[in-house]
Amino acid sequence: MLRQAWWFGLALLLLIAAGCGGGPCDGSEDRTVALSEFPCRAMDADGLWESHPWPPIADEQCYWFEFKACSTYTFENPLPEAPTTVIGYTSFDPDGTFSTVGSGNSFVVDEVSDSEIVLRNAQNQAFWLRLVLE
């Protein structure tokens, strides 16, 4: 009887341990992102659109877009036609410090059209994103 209780206790402990902490993609989301979510967006005279400024960023409303792990985002296209260039800069900090050009599974361009840009973060890691379209 004691041996059965020991095995039952071990199995219960393993089940609890497996459920603790959740999976790497907990908190993922798939959603449409309106241009109004980018209060610090800018477009220059040559038609280059930027979602956020470069660091240093003093105003929290200008922090980069939270690009959650295992998530897909459909962004409104701010340009009059489909962009020919889609660049994403990723950072671990919301103010964009120590950023790099997004690549591989961390910045996947799924679709580009006159009306929308569909991007995916297929990593199990969240980033902060600065989007540049031309």
118 DSSP assignment: E
pLDDT of residue 16: 40
Distance of CA 31 to the CA centre of its chain: 11
Longest dimension (CA), the chain: 80
pLDDT digits (tens, 9 = 90+) for 72-111: 999 999 999 999 999 999 999 999 999 999 999 999 999 9
Indicate whether 19 pLDDT > 80.
no
Q: Coil, strand or helix: which one is 80? A: coil
Q: In whole angstroms, give the CA distance from residue 57 to residue 38.
A: 14
107-111's contacts with Cβ under 8 Å and 24+ in sequence apart are 110/72
Whether this model's pTM surpasses 0.85: no
| The Cα angle at residue 113 between residues 68 and 119, in degrees rounded to 5 | 10
pLDDT digits (tens, 9 = 90+) for 41-77: 999 999 999 999 999 999 999 999 999 999 999 999 9
Structure tokens at 91: 């950072």
Domain 23-133 class?
A: mainly beta
pLDDT of residue 25: 81
Question: Residue 78: CA atoms inside 13 Å, Cβ hemisphere, count?
Answer: 20
